[in-house]
């Protein structure tokens, strides 16, 4: 038995006229292709492009992987190569500040999903980072508030260790389905 893919990866990336938006969509689509393979080899479900269950929040949830009563939120990033690190709550790529890495969005999303689905065990979110071009990338010393930063190459291993290979609980499916932005 295999899992199910819900939604379209990168389906609602805003303002595609900017290079940043195009890069963001490419990162979400790339991560989406990797995640879609999980549904073929396991019973886990993959959810792409969901609304945050809160009024007035414009941010979306890039991906969620579910199995049993467990949900793992994944934010896909495609950043310039370099050495990313954090000191006293400020993140850097080499010696340049990287303010977008210091936002507490992932902690808020985890709290909102956990409140929306009380039965679910919502694991600590993951920010999966891949390089936007050839070059060396390290996020080992990067500390994103409320999330674990990992290289994209480690994503499947993280999912296999955090999300059980079981069909998704019907209550989770019923709670997540209305949050889909695209289908």
Give residues with Cβ within 8 angstroms of 120, minimum separation 6.
69, 70, 71, 113, 114, 169, 171, 172, 175
Give the start-end residues of each E strand in 19-160.
45-51, 60-67, 70-79, 82-87, 90-93, 96-97, 121-122, 126-131, 137-141, 148-151
pLDDT for the residue numbered 25: 72
Asked whether 84 and 141 are in contact (CB, 8 A), the reply is yes
Residue 14 has a pLDDT of: 61
Query: What is the layout of strands, in order, in the sheet containing 90-93?
Result: 96-97, 90-93, 82-87, 137-141
pLDDT at 23 over 90: no
What pLDDT is attached to residue 33?
A: 86
Give the model's pLDDT for residue 51: 96
Banded pLDDT at 16 (limits 50, 70, 90): low
pLDDT in tens, 87-110: 999 999 999 999 999 999 999 999
pLDDT band, very low/low/confident/very high, at 156 (cuts 50, 70, 90): very high
DSSP 3-state of 169: coil
Average pLDDT over every residue of 62-73 = 98
List the one residue out of 180, 168, 183, 179 whose CA is nearest residue 38.
Answer: 168
Tell me which residue range forms the domain holding 106: 5-179
pLDDT for residue 58: 87
What the block records as the tokens of 41 is 């080899």
Residues 6+ apart with CB under 8 A from 145: 102, 103, 104, 106, 107
When divided into structural domains, the chain yields a total of 1
Instruction: Write down the residue that tokens 């896909």 correspond to.
Output: 76
What is the pLDDT, as a whole number, of residue 158?
Answer: 98
Stated pTM of the model: 0.92
The fraction of the chain above a pLDDT of 90, given in percent, is 80
């Amino acid at each position: 038995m295999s899992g199910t893919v819900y939604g379209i990866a990168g389906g609602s990336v805003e303002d595609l006229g900017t290079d940043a938006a195009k890069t963001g969509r490419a990162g979400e689509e790339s991560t989406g292709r990797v995640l879609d393979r999980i549904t073929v080899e396991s019973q886990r479900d993959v959810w792409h492009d969901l609304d945050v269950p809160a009024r007035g929040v414009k941010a979306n949830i890039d991906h969620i992987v579910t199995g049993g009563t467990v949900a793992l939120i994944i934010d896909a990033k495609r950043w310039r190569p370099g050495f990313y690190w954090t000191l006293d709550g400020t993140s850097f790529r080499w010696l340049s500040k990287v303010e977008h890495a210091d936002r507490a969005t992932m902690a808020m999303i985890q709290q909102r999903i956990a409140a929306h689905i009380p039965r679910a065990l919502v694991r600590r979110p993951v920010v999966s980072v891949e390089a936007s071009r050839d070059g060396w990338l390290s996020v080992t010393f990067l500390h994103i508030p409320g999330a674990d930063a990992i290289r994209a190459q480690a994503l499947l291993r993280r999912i296999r260790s955090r999300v059980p290979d079981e069909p998704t609980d019907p209550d989770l499916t019923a709670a997540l389905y209305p949050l889909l932005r695209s289908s």
